[in-house]
Structure 1
Amino acid sequence: MENCSETVSEITKKSLEKSLQQLKCHFTWNLMEGEKSLDEFEYKVLNKYEFQNDEFKATTYNLSAYIKHHRGQYEAALAFLLKAEESIQEKYQDQAEIRSLVTWGNYAWVYYYMDQPKIAQSYVNKVKEVCAKFSSPYRIESPEFECEEGWARLKCTKNQNERAKMCFEKALEKNPKNPESTFGWAIANYRLDDRPPSQNSMEPLKKATELNSHNQYVKVLLALKLQKMNEEDKGESLVKEALKEAPDATDVLRAAAKFYQKNPDLSIKLLKRALKHMPDNAYLHYSIGCCYRSKILEIKNGRENKNVGGVEDLPELIGQAVDHLKKVENNGNLLHVCSYLAAIYVIAGKYKEADHYFQKEFSKNLTPVGKQLLHLRYGNFLWNEMKCKEKATHHYVEGLKINQDSKEREKIKTKLQKIVQWRLSKNEADSEALQLSALLHGLNEDRQ
């Protein structure tokens, strides 16, 4: 008679899987929801978003382990989890057990995927032993535990801001005056309140500043909020105070650079200070390159600005912009890098290099509006610098064909209307100009 009963190992594996699903950790939080790719997710976590300072090391290590797992690099994932454990032991000696629950849950999942169920079960047991002290099998209701999840979600992407806010609100229900929970709650409110700006996040930021007097980053966030509400002077005094108290904190430096974005020299100075601590940070190189680009465009357009410099400064500014942007030219998560490089090379009179970077930008996976903008910029380059009017017209038409309403498309229409007028003024029977005119007329009728 055939034995239909499950083996002991199958039963054990099923019970392990059931336990794993109940753990509160990165593997059960669905952190990659709404993300386009793992590469983009990793870039945002490790480069773009805040919390790169020492106090968030464990959060970053846990997320790095989660990313390495998704890449199938299990040994590397374990190495990051070990670093997370060590960081928690060092920073939270009196709360090490509770703070380690998330890391242990991650360990359990990684070992499970490595097909080492015994070790995975041992970490599940560690979680159970701590939770048993709070009369719960796999998870506990504590501000520290909720904060761990909140920070992980805030460290990810804007898709997680609403969930992060809920985590910190849950933590505040247990302890309304907890500085850490208030800080996280204020940041989540600030991000969700960003567009359009309103007063909604002002009070949470003020409260967080009061309860976290030592935390300089939250002061700069409050300053940015005041700036948006046209209270620049109040904001600047907070920024200066934060920079004095935490001159090397990368989050403070990056946020302060954003506050001073109308003063590109000061922004560059602050971003370069942050770069000393994070020399490989792609977002910093990109931001510095964009600041130099702003200065170049100001000079090129003849705008008077004491913070920008003069025409004699252009070669140095172009060199700096190119140096920083070329460091991130292959980063698919940064918008318009190759297009920016192309435009800078046009200003430098290096048309071969400019064309190279325009072509490189065309090879990228762009949004419809991104493609329109690129056709417009490349068309302008061909028309004005290369004097290839036929080829330029072709690119304007290609941009126009992309069926997406945008200011870029309107600019392309205006360009083509001028080309039609110019050609017909020379030859009323110009067949190509008449075809273009019919195309533009047809588009206007469609819109009506």
Structure 2
Amino acid sequence: MSEVNKNSLEKILPQLKCHFTWNLLKEEHVSHDLKDRVSNQIEFLNTKFKATMYNLLAYIKHLDGQNEEALECLQQAEDSIQREHADQAEIRSLVTWGNYAWVYYHMGRLSEAQAYVDKVKRVCEKFSNPYSIECPELDCEEGWTLLQCGAKRNERAKVCFEKALEEKPNNPEFFSGLAIAISGLDDKPQKQFPASVLKQAIELNPDNQYIKVLLALKLQKMNKEEEGEPLVVEALEKASCQADVLRSAAYFYQKKGDLDKAIELFKKALESLPNNAYIYHQIACCYRAKKKQIQNTDHSEASRDSEKTEETRKCAMDYINKAIEKGLNPLYAYSDSPDLEAEECYQGSFNKEHPQAEGKQLPQRYSNSQECPGKCEDTPILDHLKDLTVSTKSTETEKVKYQLQNGAENQLPQNAPNFWYLQGLTHKLNGDLLRAAECFEKELGCLLKNSPSGISSFFLPESELEEDREEGGPGVDSSTLSELLDP
């Protein structure tokens, strides 16, 4: 192909409606968890949605530099469209053809890229537009793709489904997508929605088990848990291997207080999502809650259960460490587990590498600290302030004191991430709880220093706030915090 044609192709490609022009993951690291989730959807979702998942998997493969594998996924998407949407094959194939064109372009196979551009053009010209058209099916495809790519894209997904429903009201596929998108926004006070939206989605699409669990969670939030639980039971019976159903059902039982059931379901979800840090962390939280349940029994019974208490504590610690291995920030992982030994927190945090995974999924309490910064009781650092205990295991404690002091004081600069948190752990181990509290308060101030409410001024003096604004300041920097709190 001549240079003139290459230039022409480069002007056309950005006009195509496909994953390469939807601003999805291009500048971010693609987590193994996302691949796991998409693969699970391909295996267990209704066959009508497989083409959408194959298209997304192709894009992920491309971002990983696996263009040949991406082409194979696009072929599977095409085959699925021919089987499941034969009456709309051309329209439904536009996204796939656009992806083909982009992948071939990146491979340097320009003639093949041009061939797929021409296929798109032949369809779009029927609608008086050379390379893109307004179509509810394309809006729907974009919406489902955005839902898979992280909670921070729920608002965009919602807009896509609303646009599609303007053309085809009460379409089951479109309405299900809308219900899922807005349920992901429900924890924002200004985004509350009635349960009737999910009920209508179930009426239109009774085979969607995931929406049933979302409705159960909504009812639970409305203090109608007994009404919601049968929906969870039904969903688990009909979609026993669907990871999103398992995970959401586990969350339902976790909130109910049935911790054994929650752990069972979370562990089953891990079979399909082995790289999901959120699930490991939730299992740890369940074990931690179980430990507290045991400790809250009468004294004689607690004595008999001391071995069980220790076993539960170790399980919590194991899953915290696994969550960190999968990319969860140690500061948040351990701040939700203040009863775990401080020296184990240190060793688990700093004897491991901490890969930063795109689309971290954190418990809602963490995102609440960003949305409602005035409610500092929701900030995980305060858990440390509530439970400052000193370990009595002298030999190990002295060893870790030395590691902490050398790591936090002699090696780490004051503007290092989590500096004040490490200082607090050091003082806690030394028995200086007042200074430990001061350090944890400073870490909290650093976390909240960009809050529009100005709450950080309660924890940091004005001089340090000014210094932070000039030099970036100690603790977690604002970009890292934003990434952590907006998965």
> TM (normalized to structure 1)?
0.73
2:264 corresponds to which of 265, 269, 272:
269
Q: Larger deviation: 311-320 or 235-244? A: 311-320
CA contact (8 A) 2:146 2:156 kept: yes
Compared with structure 1, are the counterparts of its residues 49 and 160 closer, same or farther at alpha carbon in structure 2 (3 Å cutoff)?
A: farther
Structure 1 CA distance for aligned equivalents of residues 291 and 460 of structure 2: 33
Compared with structure 1, are the counterparts of its residues 267 and 197 closer, same or farther at alpha carbon in structure 2 (3 Å cutoff)?
A: farther
1:71 equivalent in alignment to 2:84: no
CA contact (8 A) 1:131 1:138 kept: yes
1:168 equivalent in alignment to 2:161: yes
Compared with structure 1, are the counterparts of its residues 236 and 125 closer, same or farther at alpha carbon in structure 2 (3 Å cutoff)?
A: same
Corresponding residue number in structure 2 for 1:38: 29
Q: Which runs of 5+ in 1 are unaligned?
A: 1-7, 423-441
Structure 1 CA distance for aligned equivalents of residues 200 and 29 of structure 2: 36
Structure 2 CA distance for aligned equivalents of residues 371 and 150 of structure 1: 33
The one-letter code sitting in structure 2 at the alignment partner of 1:43 is D
CA contact (8 A) 1:168 1:182 kept: yes
1:360 corresponds to which of 329, 351, 357:
351
Secondary structure, in 3 states, of the residue corresponding to 1:258? helix
| Cα drift, residue 182 of structure 1 | 0.7
The one-letter code sitting in structure 1 at the alignment partner of 2:259 is P
Corresponding residue number in structure 2 for 1:58: 51
What are the equivalent positions in structure 2 for 1:167-186 lying under 5 Å apart? 167-186=160-179
Secondary structure, in 3 states, of the residue corresponding to 2:93? helix
| Cα drift, residue 404 of structure 1 | 10
CA contact (8 A) 2:246 2:269 kept: yes
Compared with structure 1, are the counterparts of its residues 198 and 134 closer, same or farther at alpha carbon in structure 2 (3 Å cutoff)?
A: closer
Cα RMSD of the aligned pairs, angstroms, is: 4.9
The one-letter code sitting in structure 2 at the alignment partner of 1:231 is K
Q: Percent identity?
A: 43
Highest relative contact order (Cα 8 Å, sep 6+), 1 or 2? 2
C-alpha deviations, 1:125-168, integer Å up to 9, x for none?
12222223333322233222111010011110123212111110
Structure 2 CA distance for aligned equivalents of residues 251 and 233 of structure 1: 22
Q: Larger deviation: 230-239 or 114-123? A: 230-239
1:330 corresponds to which of 325, 329, 336:
325
Structure 1 CA distance for aligned equivalents of residues 406 and 66 of structure 2: 44
Corresponding residue number in structure 2 for 1:419: 432
1:131 corresponds to which of 116, 124, 128:
124
What are the equivalent positions in structure 2 for 1:12-411 lying under 5 Å apart? 12-32=5-25, 37-40=28-31, 43-44=33-34, 46-47=36-37, 51=41, 53-55=44-46, 56-196=49-189, 199-261=192-254, 262-276=257-271, 278=272, 280-283=274-277, 286=280, 289-290=283-284, 293-295=287-289, 297-298=291-292, 301-302=295-296, 310-314=305-309, 317=312, 330-333=325-328, 356-360=347-351, 386-388=396-398, 391=402, 394=405
The one-letter code sitting in structure 2 at the alignment partner of 1:357 is G
Structure 2 CA distance for aligned equivalents of residues 31 and 46 of structure 1: 17
CA contact (8 A) 2:144 2:177 kept: yes
Q: Larger deviation: 313-322 or 110-119? A: 313-322
CA contact (8 A) 1:26 1:63 kept: yes
| Cα drift, residue 110 of structure 1 | 0.6
The one-letter code sitting in structure 2 at the alignment partner of 1:286 is Y
Secondary structure, in 3 states, of the residue corresponding to 1:243? helix
CA contact (8 A) 1:150 1:184 kept: yes
Secondary structure, in 3 states, of the residue corresponding to 2:183? helix
| Cα drift, residue 181 of structure 1 | 0.7
Structure 2 CA distance for aligned equivalents of residues 158 and 208 of structure 1: 20
Compared with structure 1, are the counterparts of its residues 373 and 63 closer, same or farther at alpha carbon in structure 2 (3 Å cutoff)?
A: farther
Compared with structure 1, are the counterparts of its residues 24 and 324 closer, same or farther at alpha carbon in structure 2 (3 Å cutoff)?
A: same
CA contact (8 A) 1:186 1:201 kept: no
Structure 1 CA distance for aligned equivalents of residues 327 and 269 of structure 2: 23
Secondary structure, in 3 states, of the residue corresponding to 2:132? coil
Secondary structure, in 3 states, of the residue corresponding to 1:160? helix
Structure 2 CA distance for aligned equivalents of residues 421 and 141 of structure 1: 63
Structure 1 CA distance for aligned equivalents of residues 161 and 259 of structure 2: 35
The one-letter code sitting in structure 1 at the alignment partner of 2:265 is L
Compared with structure 1, are the counterparts of its residues 92 and 298 closer, same or farther at alpha carbon in structure 2 (3 Å cutoff)?
A: farther
Structure 1 CA distance for aligned equivalents of residues 434 and 132 of structure 2: 72
| Cα drift, residue 202 of structure 1 | 2.9
CA contact (8 A) 1:362 1:374 kept: no
C-alpha deviations, 1:34-70, integer Å up to 9, x for none?
x6x3144x53464499956323433333222222222
Compared with structure 1, are the counterparts of its residues 138 and 334 closer, same or farther at alpha carbon in structure 2 (3 Å cutoff)?
A: farther
CA contact (8 A) 2:390 2:431 kept: no
| Structure with greater Cα Rg | 1
Structure 2 CA distance for aligned equivalents of residues 250 and 222 of structure 1: 17
Q: Larger deviation: 80-89 or 102-111? A: 80-89
Compared with structure 1, are the counterparts of its residues 333 and 20 closer, same or farther at alpha carbon in structure 2 (3 Å cutoff)?
A: farther
Secondary structure, in 3 states, of the residue corresponding to 1:72? coil
Q: Larger deviation: 51-60 or 231-240? A: 51-60
Structure 2 CA distance for aligned equivalents of residues 95 and 26 of structure 1: 20
| Cα drift, residue 218 of structure 1 | 0.9
| Cα drift, residue 232 of structure 1 | 1.7
> TM (normalized to structure 2)?
0.67
Structure 2 CA distance for aligned equivalents of residues 413 and 354 of structure 1: 12
Q: Larger deviation: 13-22 or 203-212? A: 203-212
CA contact (8 A) 1:246 1:252 kept: yes
